[in-house]
Structure 1
Amino acid sequence: MKAQIAFVCIAFLFASVFVNCEDDKDNKKDDKSEEIKVYKRLIPADVLRDFPGMCFASTRCATVEPGKTWDLTPFCGRSTCVLDESNPAKLLELVEDCGPLPLANDKCKLDTEKTNKTAPFPYCCPTFKCEPGVKLEYPEIKEEPKKE
């Protein structure tokens, strides 16, 4: 009996340490995610004729149910299969990625120490280091007019 209680206490101790470590990791992620801009856009979803009602995830070569998300590896991003609110028979793909690259600037360089192309999204987004007082400029993204 004492051995069982000791085992439960040790297991609880390890679980507590593990949970605390996970909480610290999550807090660190939240701090970094505030620095990362995530660009979102809705596009018409690819749909295979043999799988109506499901999005086709070309990066995975798989079908995905509405409401489900998949990563866009080898690209840095993720997508979600979404039902169109105005036409529930139509599927959309909510694409989330790093957005456009900044305009060329000799005073800003890709920060190779902080950029990790193989990290999960959004931590795979490129990070840039600029000389003091220099800000990156990004191309203007124009929204396409909605077709009715």
Structure 2
Amino acid sequence: MIKFSVLFCVAVVVAVFLSSAIAAEEEKLSKNDENIKVYKRLIPADVLRDFPGMCFASTRCATVEPGKTWDLTPFCGRSTCVQSEDNPAKLLELVEDCGPLPLTNEKCKLDTDKTNKTASFPFCCPKFTCEPGVTLEYPEVPKDEPKKE
């Protein structure tokens, strides 16, 4: 019994150490990545007929209540289940992700040392390094036009 207690205490100490190390790493990343752009868009939510009033999170294969957020792993992003202001019976999904990749530029390269695909959003977004004086250009993101009915 004493061996189990000692092993349990060691496991707790290791877990606390790892969680504080991860939090410190993410805090360091957030200070270095102040220019991360987050793209947001509202789309119609997936809703299962047996679970009306809840969004279906396909990346988790789970239902989510309005106001709740889930990550989009294995993709870099997160979504939130939102009730439409116009029609409270309609659910929307607020998708937040890294947006489109920049246009190809021979003077800018994906920085594989700084990009961490397994980090939590938005720290999983790709990072690029460009030669001095060069800035990345991004494709124009079309704005959704209101549908005429």
TM-score by length of 1: 0.80
SS at match of 1:28: helix
Paired residue for 2:93? Answer: 93
Query: Aligned runs of 1:51-130 on 2, under 5 Å?
Result: 51-130=51-130
Cα distance in 2 between the residues matched to 1:96 and 1:88: 22
Q: What amino acid sits opposite 1:72 in the alignment?
A: L
Give the root-mean-square deviation of aligned CA atoms. Answer: 1.8
List, as ranges, runs of 4+ consecutive aligned residues in structure 1 with deviation greater than 4 Å: none
Paired residue for 1:144? Answer: 144
Note the C-alpha offset of 1:28. Answer: 3.1
Cα distance in 2 between the residues matched to 1:84 and 1:57: 17
Cα distance in 2 between the residues matched to 1:65 and 1:32: 34
The C-alpha deviation readout for 1:54-108, integer Å capped at 9, x for no partner, is 0000000110000000000000000000000111000000000000000011110
Paired residue for 1:10? Answer: none
CA contact (8 A) 1:33 1:122 kept: no
TM-score by length of 2: 0.80
- What residue ranges of structure 2 are gaps of 5+ in the alignment? 1-16
Q: What amino acid sits opposite 1:69 in the alignment?
A: T
The C-alpha deviation readout for 1:115-143, integer Å capped at 9, x for no partner, is 00011100000000001111100000111
Distance change (3 Å), C-alpha of 1:128 and 1:94: same
Cα distance in 2 between the residues matched to 1:27 and 1:109: 25
Q: What amino acid sits opposite 1:140 in the alignment?
A: E
Cα distance in 2 between the residues matched to 1:52 and 1:29: 39
Distance change (3 Å), C-alpha of 1:131 and 1:76: same
Larger radius of gyration: 1
Note the C-alpha offset of 1:34. Answer: 1.9
| 1:45 to 2:45 alignment | yes
CA contact (8 A) 2:56 2:62 kept: yes
Cα distance in 2 between the residues matched to 1:27 and 1:129: 21
Paired residue for 2:36? Answer: 36
SS at match of 1:56: strand
Cα distance in 2 between the residues matched to 1:30 and 1:128: 16
